[in-house]
Amino acid sequence: MPDAVSLIQLKRDNTRPLTDAEIAWLFGAYAENVVADEQMAALLMAIYFNGLNAEELSAWTGEMIASGETLDLGHLGRPSVDKHSTGGVGDKVSLVLAPLVASCGAVVPQLSGRGLGHTGGTLDKLESIPGWRANLSNAELASALKQVGVVIAAAGAGLAPADRRLYALRDVTGTVESIPLIASSIMSKKIAEGTNALVLDVKTGSGAFMRDPGKALTLARTMVALGEQHHVRTRALVTRMDTPLGRTAGNALEVEEAVAALAGEGPDDLMEVTYALAEHMLDLAGIHADPREAIASGRALNTYRMMIKTQGGDPDAPLPTAKHVATALEAPATGWVTHLDALAVGIAAWRLGAGRARKEDDVSHTAGVRCLAKPGDHVQQGQPVLELHTDDPARFTPALEALRAPGVLAIGGEPPPTMPLVVDQVGA
């Protein structure tokens, strides 16, 4: 019979891999509180330093899935496919992508999360719509998928509950940034939701969680392998997050921009990433459809409106607006914007009230940043590049401090070269 201390020592000293039986015992004992939080925290730190090999990670993820319920979408009679993003600044892709792909004939069960720090959460954004509900029962979720083909909702407490406990420990013990632990956390919930296929958007760059391109690619490969091992067709795109995606960062501001994108008026960078992901999702689902036609015909926007109504929201209600708006970050010279740092903009939006420092914090639906100019735009000396939105004017000062950091904005004599936003692909 294994015991917690011996498993900690095995992983601490990197003596040998943990066996499937040992990992199964660990999760069962942890669920019954035979293994204490401090012992699991010690093991997580050992994993942070020494990793998990492919066999350990597959077993670890399997136990996280088995810790709760799994959804069955087979009765819906249509292929299902989901998408997950590792998060970035202005990343409102899910708001456009999920109804877009559903309007092409797929079932899209998008179980999403909330923002933490400088990266926004999809649920926080949609909660700026009056009446919209993130929390659906399994019966409500199934009904919405049958009616509309798409939901964007909170993952139920019954899906991979072990992940919830482990993430809370990782959050307070400095073990969040572990590729195997990140991969198992994301994939356990996505596999448990019962989708047939999954496309991952792994962000890299200054505004991404995984800033280093090499580490982003490793994470992408790790998650694709986990998906395939658990019989979910999985593909990953590694995409740039060096500058905010689209023109807005902040909850209601991003919803407004997403609706404009569904109406055919989306900024080029947002649509580049959205269409790339949509094409891969439809390919994995075996559906031959043109996502651009779904936007142009109005079908995608109609599906979005139905999704919002089905979850209690009013798609025609005015979105909340900030009480105070100010411009910031004046161009130091006339020329072309060659760089606008995503991290600085994300931190500014967070400090204005759009994000949270702790999971239990409230967010402001109105706070955020609008980019008046982005890389590739021509500006005059003294022209403001950003517009700041908040309900609390005291928040302007800390937000401006983030934007005054060296290297946030660069102006050049020539427009910057156009770089594709999709930098790598993993999976067949």
Cβ atoms of residues 202 and 219 within 8 Å: yes
d(CA 121, CA 34): 34
Please state the pTM of the whole predicted model.
0.94
d(CA 241, CA 99): 23
Tell me the pLDDT tens digit for each residue of 122-179.
999 999 999 999 999 989 999 999 999 999 999 888 889 999 899 889 988 989 889 9
Q: How confident is the model at residue 223 (pLDDT cuts 50, 70, 90)?
A: very high
The CATH fold assigned to 324-412 is Aldehyde Oxidoreductase; domain 3 (3.90.1170)
**Which pLDDT score is estimated for 118?**
63
The CATH fold assigned to 74-310 is Pyrimidine Nucleoside Phosphorylase; Chain A, domain 2 (3.40.1030)
CA–chain centroid gap for 289, Å, is: 25
Tell me the pLDDT tens digit for each residue of 190-210.
999 999 999 999 999 998 888
Tell me the pLDDT tens digit for each residue of 378-387.
999 999 999 9
Tell me the pLDDT tens digit for each residue of 252-277.
999 999 999 999 999 999 999 999 99
What is the DSSP annotation of 321-339?
Answer: --SEEEEEEE-SSSEEEEE
Question: Is pLDDT at 307 greater than 90 in this prediction?
Answer: yes
Tell me the pLDDT tens digit for each residue of 87-131.
889 999 999 999 999 999 999 999 887 766 666 689 999 999 999
Residues with catalytic roles: 84, 163, 170, 185, 189
Cβ atoms of residues 321 and 366 within 8 Å: yes
Q: Enumerate the domain spans of the chain.
A: 4-50, 74-310, 324-412
Question: Is pLDDT at 362 greater than 90 in this prediction?
Answer: no
When pLDDT is averaged across residues 337-348 and rounded to a whole number, the result is 96
CA dihedral 237, 204, 364, 390 (to 10 degrees): -130
When pLDDT is averaged across residues 306-314 and rounded to a whole number, the result is 98
Nearest to 236 by CA among 252, 249, 223: 223
**Which pLDDT score is estimated for 109?**
95
- Classify residue 17 by its DSSP letter: P
**Which pLDDT score is estimated for 73?**
87
